[in-house]
Amino acid sequence: MSTLDAGLIDRFIEVVGTKNALTVEDDRTRYTEENRFIFKGVTPLVLKPGNTEEVAAIVRLANETGTAIVPQGGNTGHAAGAQPDESGDQIVVSLERMNAIREIDPQANTMVVEAGVILETLQQTADGQDRLFPLSLSSQGSCQIGGNISTNAGGVAVLSYGNTRNLVLGLEVVTAAGDIWNGLRKLKKDNTGYDLRDLFIGAEGTIGIITAATVKLFPKPKGRVAAFAGLASVSDCLALLQQAQALAGKSLTGFEFMPSIGMESVTHAFETVRNPLAGKHDWYVLMEISSTRSEQDAMEMSESLLHDAQEARIISDAVVAQNESQRQAFWEIRELMPASQKMLGGSIKHDISVPVHLVPEFLERAEPLVHSVDPGARIFAFGHMGDGNIHYNVSQPEDAGDDWYLTKRELINDPVHQLVVAMGGSISAEHGIGKLKRDLLAETKSPVELEMMRSIKRALDPNNIMNPGKVV
Amino acid sequence: MSTLDAGLIDRFIEVVGTKNALTVEDDRTRYTEENRFIFKGVTPLVLKPGNTEEVAAIVRLANETGTAIVPQGGNTGHAAGAQPDESGDQIVVSLERMNAIREIDPQANTMVVEAGVILETLQQTADGQDRLFPLSLSSQGSCQIGGNISTNAGGVAVLSYGNTRNLVLGLEVVTAAGDIWNGLRKLKKDNTGYDLRDLFIGAEGTIGIITAATVKLFPKPKGRVAAFAGLASVSDCLALLQQAQALAGKSLTGFEFMPSIGMESVTHAFETVRNPLAGKHDWYVLMEISSTRSEQDAMEMSESLLHDAQEARIISDAVVAQNESQRQAFWEIRELMPASQKMLGGSIKHDISVPVHLVPEFLERAEPLVHSVDPGARIFAFGHMGDGNIHYNVSQPEDAGDDWYLTKRELINDPVHQLVVAMGGSISAEHGIGKLKRDLLAETKSPVELEMMRSIKRALDPNNIMNPGKVV
């Protein structure tokens, strides 16, 4: 299938050695399949370089021969950004073997990690030094930090600690020319020219390959208290958020909202999971308050907040986790939302954001748009309320067939995304663009912005070898 | 002097109208002089556009005719980034008339401001809505937010709130082609392609002109307590910082250090200023703790911290401000450091940063380098310890003449900057590059990084009309 010359393939294999190159079809599936199974990629070759010099040698060869390469981390993305296309001419470069933790410096609160380090390993290593690496998302057991950085991953700790972008101090990058840029800085302040770091973060491997990073560590909170609340409306969720931020400021480290359909699905699908509250509610909020002072301090803040919110009739009911296993049980409910939604059949997803205070308005305006397409469609909206980031997913009606997803997808996507744009929102809050939303990006961005992105792409990757067909 | 054609000048004037264009020599001085009086700029024309469309029309004309333009805010920068060169062929575009606050949205915690808004006006407007805009620096009475953003300004609140970069959600920019990019977003999360916002922030007007911005507001702390401590060494200052961060986390909103020579100069030069501590100390720390809960909470944190630090013999003496005027008096000492240093005569300055925990090591290693050039040179190092940002200034010996600065500047600059680079630091932590450090940038950055910057400059400003001769 591939039109790549066998001699050329051999030259690429030579860089990493035969045992670090996959050429047999079966071996390569996990590098070509993507999360949503919408696109089917094909590749003649998966390369697994063991160090930065090998990555640079691969890119130089690709540049010299005009061969397209696709950098890949844990391949857990939701936007089809890390798979080859269908041509069979794109070579996958997996960073998985570059998984060393080069340095951990608890005094500087930094760690230098290679791109292939699994996020969970990074978290655990920091924890072992009594430090926190706050990035936290459901695929953390298999996603890699290089992919997290290349997609500027979000997750459940953004509210207090920011996106991945905010957790990175420096980068090591192999440029599209095959040069190595050592930008592994540990500085809080550095105003020396253009911000290349932030340009590579979130660029999804289209202008270079991130091979290592200096990441920030944080003091581990001394206390962390989770609370679970039932509420009557999204407006009440917003009111609770504002009250929590006013009281706890940056100590509010998590604020997730979930719909009643989510609670029903998750308790139905997973026998061990139960609703922490006695009654049913239209909305649920999982919120977490952390204290740098003490467990008691976090508990006092949480209780004082819930007391005030109950007085103000913002929440109907609430419960505070009394120990670590209860805290984890609360989070499990949130983390199982996507899996439980899968049980409801086909799902049309939107990873969108709006200004935080407009979340209720967005949900109110989006609902009739969805139901005018299909009155039986089940809206399953949840996510990172504190960031204005809604996973605005729509499950098929109970009686719908397997083709529902395909026939309704565009009909529902289009008005939802138009509403997002009209409300000043983002059509990809945390999952990125990849191949999935490349056309949507072109439709929703201004020509001025698109042209600047394309100019940068042309300037930094003139031969268009870096993950072509993605983002821009 | 200028070789610009009179007809061309008239075309530029036509865009803004005669009364918004300065052509008489005397009028233009404040637009051509720079802070340090090292460079003498000349311009035939200062334009003061009144809106974004006028800025765009100016840039289009400049692009069409290959005329160099120099965007300018309050002209308070320390790196000669906002003045024309000596050719007389560069036109200054002052944003001062674009000083509208377009929107303030306390619920969203955002404000949309035009580039020419004075920083202090912005702070006060936020304050009037019970919100905090934390950017705070000594020139806030005259610097403009557009300049702050274009230089990614630092200041005294970076420790908790970050640089200007971290305070900006969206931008409106006139590109070098004269197009208007409306990127005035209010989103906490937006993963849609390359991070153009962060590229323009800190680019010092070399790839476009920032005309407006959406900035973040914060809840106003309910309590804010300043403490002033005397310490025996910089290592003790670092130990105090670490203790304060462990206890207060993000509630530690300020941590500045000053040397004994600073306290002596400032109390000597300004009669109304007095040392808050009874005795003399080798080092002083001004530290501020803010609470989103209450004044009492901030006070308790401060006292508990100082108690622990005194127990651990980290601090020799300390006093907590008992009211707002005492708090301001503490800050005045810090803010008068540069002015008091001026009284000591010529000064060779370095705006550098190193990883925070290396501040003591840097000072220890830099001292013999300076004194080997001139044993009488007086090291006057102060600044934002919490960010690793040292204003490593060197005052002339007491008996030195007026030529000291010129004869010693390079001899002292070179080894100091070499040490900074060797320690993984930045040669411009917060002041930017401008014209002052353009050559130094080329000497200290890797060729790979420089070439990427130049590629971006060429791609976004192919005719090199945007602030040429600055940064790259």
Q: B102-127, pLDDT tens digit by residue?
A: 999 988 899 999 999 999 999 999 99
Residue A204 DSSP label:
T
The confidence score (pLDDT) of residue B239 equals 97
Count other C-beta atoms under 10 Å from residue A14's C-beta.
Answer: 12
For residue B386, the chain A residues in CB contact (below 8 A) are 188
pLDDT tens for residues A293-310? 899 999 999 999 999 999
The confidence score (pLDDT) of residue B1 equals 55
Non-local (6+) Cβ contacts of B189 within 8 A are A154, A158, A163, A353, A384, A387, A388, A389, A426, A429, A430
pTM over 0.80: yes
Count other C-beta atoms under 10 Å from residue A329's C-beta.
Answer: 17
The confidence score (pLDDT) of residue A75 equals 95
Q: Mean pLDDT, to the nearest integer, of A358-385?
A: 97
Q: Mean pLDDT, to the nearest integer, of B268-285?
A: 95
pLDDT tens for residues A195-229? 999 999 999 999 999 999 999 999 899 999 999 99
Is the predicted pLDDT of residue A272 greater than 80, yes or no? yes
For residue B201, the chain A residues in CB contact (below 8 A) are 195
CA dist B259 and B264 (Å) reads 9
The confidence score (pLDDT) of residue B24 equals 82
Is the predicted pLDDT of residue A1 greater than 60, yes or no? no
Q: Which of A151, A180, A386 sits opposite B191 (nearest CB)?
A: A151
Is the predicted pLDDT of residue A60 greater than 70, yes or no? yes
Is the predicted pLDDT of residue B472 greater than 80, yes or no? yes
Percentage of chain B modeled with pLDDT above 90? 93
Q: Give the model's confidence band at B18: pLDDT under 50 very low, under 70 low, under 90 confident, else very high.
A: very high
CA dist B365 and A443 (Å) reads 56
Q: Which residues pair with B111 in a beta bridge?
A: B104, B215
Is the predicted pLDDT of residue B52 greater than 70, yes or no? yes
For residue B150, the chain A residues in CB contact (below 8 A) are none
The confidence score (pLDDT) of residue B390 equals 97
Min Cα distance A433 → chain B (Å) is 6
Contacts of range A404-412, beta carbons closer than 8 Å, 24 or more positions apart: A404/A345, A404/A346, A404/A374, A405/A346, A405/A347, A405/A348, A408/A348, A408/A373, A408/A374, A408/A377, A409/A348, A411/A373, A412/A348, A412/A369, A412/A370, A412/A373, A412/A374, A412/A377
Min Cα distance A471 → chain B (Å) is 6
The confidence score (pLDDT) of residue A38 equals 80
Q: Can you point out the beta strands (E) in A131-190?
A: 131-132, 168-175, 180-183
Q: Which of B163, B189, B425 sits opposite A387 (nearest CB)?
A: B189
pLDDT tens for residues A26-39? 788 899 998 777 88
CA dist B297 and B281 (Å) reads 29
The confidence score (pLDDT) of residue A438 equals 95
Q: What SS3 state is found at B151?
A: coil
CA dist B447 and B337 (Å) reads 37
For residue A424, the chain B residues in CB contact (below 8 A) are 185-187
Min Cα distance A271 → chain B (Å) is 34
The confidence score (pLDDT) of residue B2 equals 72
pLDDT tens for residues A91-101? 999 999 999 99
Question: Do A250 and B247 count as a contact with CB atoms less than 8 A apart?
Answer: no
Q: Mean pLDDT, to the nearest integer, of B313-317?
A: 96
Q: Which residue of B has its CA nearest to A430?
A: B191
Tell me the Ramachandran region of residue A230: left when phi exceeds 0, alpha when psi lies from -120 to 50, beta otherwise.
Answer: beta
Question: Do B219 and A453 count as a contact with CB atoms less than 8 A apart?
Answer: no
Question: Do B456 and A458 count as a contact with CB atoms less than 8 A apart?
Answer: no
Min Cα distance A215 → chain B (Å) is 13
pLDDT tens for residues A401-446? 989 999 999 999 999 999 999 999 999 999 999 999 999 999 999 9
Instruction: Give the residue, B213 or A25, on which the prediction is more confident.
Output: B213
Residue A225 has which token pair?
């208290």
Is the predicted pLDDT of residue B37 greater than 80, yes or no? no
Residue B366 has which token pair?
């830099």
Q: Give the model's confidence band at A287: pLDDT under 50 very low, under 70 low, under 90 confident, else very high.
A: very high
Q: Which residue of A has its CA nearest to B426?
A: A190
Contacts of range B133-138, beta carbons closer than 8 Å, 24 or more positions apart: B133/B167, B133/B215, B133/B216, B133/B217, B133/B218, B134/B160, B134/B161, B134/B167, B134/B218, B134/B253, B135/B161, B135/B164, B135/B167, B138/B335, B138/B338
Q: What is the mean pLDDT of chain B?
A: 95
DSSP B339-382: HHHHTT--EE--EEE--GGGHHHHHHHHHHHHHHH-TT-EEEEE
Is the predicted pLDDT of residue B391 greater than 80, yes or no? yes
The confidence score (pLDDT) of residue B419 equals 98
- H-helix or E-strand spanning residue A61: helix A52-65
Contact B23, B4 (CB under 8 A): no
For residue A433, the chain B residues in CB contact (below 8 A) are 191-193
Is the predicted pLDDT of residue A456 greater than 60, yes or no? yes
Residue at token pair 């979930």: A258
